[in-house]
Amino acid sequence: MSGAYAVREAVAEDDLEACFAVRRTVFVEEQGVPRELEYDAYDSTAVHVLAVREDGEPLGTGRLLHGADAVGKTGGDASVGSLGRLAVTGDARGLGVGAALVRAIEEAARERGLTAVDLHAQTHALGFYERLGYVAYGGEFPDAGIPHRAMRRAL
């Protein structure tokens, strides 16, 4: 597979459908997350980002919660965004897509005046986020039956 891809905010309906398709493949089909847990009310107000190959094939996605939607996930701090639902298709892993999506989400957070980004990382992905400057805090906790840790990066 070619390494050429672009990352953009997903605003068109087709882009949002592509984001949801990637999440379905990675979280619901590969990881066994129940469909009713994967999609939530935050999807309608989140900033979604999408990575696509030159031919338009979706490779990955992620979302940013901000404002009132993020407060419950960030310890009550409205200046902190919440990065979530980061997913990269199996054939695109190792191409830098995940890191590019994280950076795009961070840029969207900066554009909205946020000072930091929190996330809940699956424990197997801690090293990935640490390489991008995130620091774990608190103990391990289950989310959809998968072990996670909270992490934060100042912007």
DSSP, residue by residue, 86-123: EEE-GGGTTTTHHHHHHHHHHHHHHHTT-SEEEEEEEG
Q: What is the pLDDT of residues 48-85, one digit of tens each?
A: 999 999 999 999 999 999 988 887 777 778 899 999 99
pLDDT of residue 3: 67
Q: What is the pLDDT of residues 84-96, one digit of tens each?
A: 999 999 999 999 9
pTM exceeding the 0.85 threshold for the entire prediction: yes
What is the torsional sign of CA 69, 48, 154, 137?
Answer: positive
Residue with the bigger pLDDT between 69 and 128: it is 128
Domains and CATH numbers, the chain: 5-154 (3.40.630.30)
